[in-house]
Amino acid sequence: MRRSLKLVVLAAAATLPAACAPNPIIARDPVPAPSPDVAYRCSSTPALLNGYWADCERVRRETEVVVRTKG
C-alpha cells in the first residue's frame, strides 16, 4: 500500500512540470481598437449582491475647440 502510494506521488510529481508551457500564452483581442473619433458613454445600475449592470453606447467624440485670444 505504502509503495503504491509512493509511486502515485512520484508519477504526479513527474507530470507536474510537463503541464507548464515553456512560453506563456498571450491572449490577443481579434477586434481592433476603436479609432480616436469613437467614444463610449456608459451608465451602470446596481444589481443584487454588490453587482452592477453596465450599459455602454458608442458615440462620436466631440471635436476639440481651441480658443485663442490676443493680449
Q: What is the pLDDT of residues 24-57, one digit of tens each?
A: 667 777 778 778 888 888 999 999 888 989 998 9
User: Percent of the chain at pLDDT above 90?
Assistant: 10
Looking at per-residue pLDDT, the higher value among 25 and 69 belongs to: 69
Find cell 508519477 and name the residue.
11
Overall average pLDDT of the 13-25 stretch: 62
* Residues 54/40, Cβ–Cβ less than 8 Å: no
- Give the whole-angstrom CA distance, residue 52 versus residue 6: 50
Helix (H) or strand (E) holding 4: helix 2-19
50 phi-psi bin (left φ>0, alpha ψ -120 to 50, beta other): left
Q: Looking at residue 31, what is its pLDDT?
A: 78
- Chain centroid to Cα 70, Å, comes to 48
